[in-house]
Amino acid sequence: MATAPAFKPQAPVEGCELCERPGGELLWSDGAWRVIRVADAAFPAFYRVVCNHHVAEFSALLAPERQRCMDLVCAIERVLLERLQPTKVNLAALGNVVPHLHWHVIARFTWDSHFPQPVWGAPQRAVDPPPMSWLGICLDELDDLVVEAVAGA
């Protein structure tokens, strides 16, 4: 895997978690955006596209910034669809807890603990063996494909 870039916050807002820290495993970054993988054992194929400057709402971005953001989201979604054949990909920008724009991109499967509920909903089942063993790909390899895809987006 390529060396991950250092995290360089842009005009950080004091006390904002996503201004002060990458927010997960930092995989890729350019000046405006970064991509992280969320360490969640229940949902191993869980990535985020995070704005590198502090903005709360998607509509506060300029049209080309929004387009760039969704191009990155789609690049990740396509990797998940192609390599994991998930039942569905879930996309969301919520930010109720950390109001700094970040898009969740999550591969969902009928076997996962919450399906068809959102990952924030009520658990539906215990998963055994652990979710990672169902993916059929190691996360380093998946991360590499995600980095390649967003770097070419």
CA triple 32-38-42, angle to 5 deg? 155
- Quick one: 121 or 130, whose CB is closer to a copy of itself? 121
Q: Select from 78, 113, 135, 139 the one that contacts a copy of itself (CB under 8 A).
A: 78
Find the binder of a copy of itself among 5, 39, 85, 87 (CB under 8 A): 87
Q: Which residues pair with 34 in a beta bridge?
A: 29, 50
Single out the residue of 2, 8, 21, 117 in contact with a copy of itself (rule: CB under 8 A).
117
Compute the radius of gyration of the chain from its Cα atoms. Answer: 15
What tokens does 84 get?
């994991």
Kindly report the CA angle at 96 between 93 and 100, in degrees rounded to 5? 65
Q: Which is nearer to a copy of itself, 48 or 108 (CB)?
A: 108
Residue 106's beta-bridge partner residues? 46, 90
Q: How far is CA 131 from CA 41, 80, 112, 137, in A?
A: 7, 15, 7, 11
In the complex, the smallest distance separating the C-beta of residue 8 from a copy of itself, rounded to whole angstroms, is: 26
Work out whether 77 is an interface residue with a copy of itself (CB under 8 A): yes
Q: Does 121 bind a copy of itself (CB under 8 A)?
A: yes
Q: Is 94 in the site for a copy of itself (CB under 8 A)?
A: yes
C-alpha torsion 35→36→42→43, nearest 10? 10
Instruction: Provide the minimum distance between the beta carbon of 100 and a copy of itself in the complex, in angstroms, as a whole number.
Output: 11
Question: Would you count residue 48 as binding a copy of itself (CB under 8 A)?
Answer: no
Interface residues toward a copy of itself, by CB under 8 A: 56-59, 63, 66-67, 70-71, 73-74, 77-78, 81, 87-97, 99, 108, 115-118, 120-122
